[in-house]
Amino acid sequence: MTPEKKKQRRLRNLALLSLLLLAVGGTFAFQAFNQRAINDRLNEVDINVGGRVHDYYNRDTENKDVFVENYGERPIMARIRLSEFLETRQRNEANFTPLVAGTSRDDVENWTTWIPSAGNINDRENSNASNAFDQYASLIFGWERSGQDAPWYMPTFNHDNLDLRTAAAGHARDWIEGNGATDAVTDGATHPGDGIDAYWSANENFDNSGPIWPGEEVTNQTAQNLQQDRAPMTMNQWSNLPNEDKIGNFWVVDHNTGWAYWANRLDSEQASSYLLDAAEMTAAIEDKVFNGFYYYGIHVESGLVHPDQHEEFLNDGEQHHAELADFLRGIQNGAMYDDGPNPLPNEDSAPAAFDFSTMRPGRIFTMAGEQYRYLENMGSGNHMIIRNEAIGNVHWNSQNNRINEWYDDLELAVQAMVQPVADNFETGHLINDSSIIWSSGRWIPTNLSDFTEVAIDVTKIDTSGTSRAFALSFADVVRLSGTGLGFPSHAGRVGGRNTWWWLRTPMDSERFWHVSNAGQLHSRRTDSSLSGGTRPALIIHQTPN
């Protein structure tokens, strides 16, 4: 929410506005444990697994960013629930009157759970008390800016998975740190920043020596939220998606309970996209109090568990949506569909366990310790695949060496399947960006044929070449992008863990083409970054049945 938009809405009455943050129900069933062996040794296995809810809020701009970060070493599953409270008082009145009878400011447990209608996340359910807030408070869900990459955040310094404090910045108040205060004055911040929109950007650092904020005395560098695959939706809307689209980077709300679930495993060092992007008071509040006062608050409740403990989300005594159990199993497995004889996406399996002829383009699979994305069936038992996550810290001019090193480390059973490609590719140069006619969001150029050398650089089997891994060309990415193809969307192009990746096609001697972590085609100067690098691809052969 920009300051300019806020100015347009500035209210004449005096507002007491407080948004609260509470992290409860965060059952971490993944703590360190002791292991005793019969040789009388005592071993401690200390695996750091945990997540932190972030809440960046600024009451002056009405910006409100709520998301979850996985700071640990293993994947987690996450859910968040919001509840609201509003009370008003005219100047000639002695006491505040709550909007919903029977609720009180000091008892957040009786605040009104936000419940959307089954078919529209932006409309509160009419048959629920939540509907009373529609007139006065507008919640903006998800995060999407035309042509912009996902936002940046400062990772938490607090890596104690037994600490239920959140990363609350600006005017947000952590419930524990703020001692449960609901006075709109008491400070309960636990994280740097002033809560405005786009406060953090790329390559910024924060030194927590002191410590200034709860957690380790280290310097963190900003990281990037995952780009949302689609806007937050209700379970009914989710039910109507094709099975292959039901698991991904987006939020799904069970409109029976108000719990919003991240529709994917959140891997190590990943942060979800925003569930909430702004909380705006409408002009109607001005008419409600006229020359008086109001207090409005949002209470954020969270649950974070290891995927193997996802049934804890079901065994909480609430009446969940009938499809929630299937949904949670899909998140755990990484897929909602029956994929024939192939192992589940997160199940590491030997090459012999797969039938690549039955795979759909874009399907994720884990083979011999590496996770891949299936790109296409090339016919005659040949299939193109690509490593799911880019290998970070690789300059463009050193990517061939790094790809060769990666290939040499593959299991021999995988190398035995790899088909030969040309030893050297004639890439051409796609020099003038301004002459490219782009479809929306720098998705694909509609005039690639005007650049002949680049357009004909398409990877194929070359029996005079070497069996090896390679980087995709600009033309490869273009032809593999679209509905039903290996890269069906912008989000589908992004490497695992939100990584960008080099193509083999140069723009000129100083700039080179890459797929950004928004899934767009851009050029950049060669550099190294942990958030991106090279993404090796293979053509493998499996004898058809």
Per-residue tokens: 274: 């925003």
Task: Give the integer Cα–Cα distance in Å for 405 and 401.
Answer: 6
- What is the model's pLDDT at position 149? 80
Token pair recorded at residue 353: 């366990």
**In the predicted model, is pLDDT for residue 493 greater than 70?**
yes
Across the range 292-305, mean pLDDT stands at 91
- The whole-angstrom separation of Cα 221 and Cα 223 is 6
Q: What is the dihedral of CA 22, 25, 26, 31, to 10 degrees?
A: 140
pLDDT at 154 over 60: yes
> Strands 521-525 and 511-515: what pairing?
antiparallel
**Strands 233-234, 167-170: parallel, antiparallel or unpaired by DSSP?**
unpaired
What would the pLDDT profile of 243-281 be if each residue is shown by its tens digit? Answer: 888 999 999 999 999 999 999 999 889 999 999 999 999
* The length of the chain, given as a count of residues: 545
User: How many CA atoms are closer than 13 Å to the CA of 344, on its beta-carbon side?
Assistant: 12
pLDDT value at residue 361: 93
Pair of tokens at residue 41: 């040794």
This prediction has a pTM of 0.77
Checking if the pLDDT of 29 tops 80, the result is: no
Instruction: Identify the three-state secondary structure at position 116.
Output: strand
Give pLDDT, residue 290: 79
- Helix (H) / strand (E) element for 324: namely helix 324-333
65-91: per-residue pLDDT in tens? Answer: 999 999 998 899 999 999 999 999 988
pLDDT at 338: 65
How confident is residue 10, by pLDDT bands cut at 50, 70 and 90?
Answer: very low
Residue 461 has a pLDDT of: 98
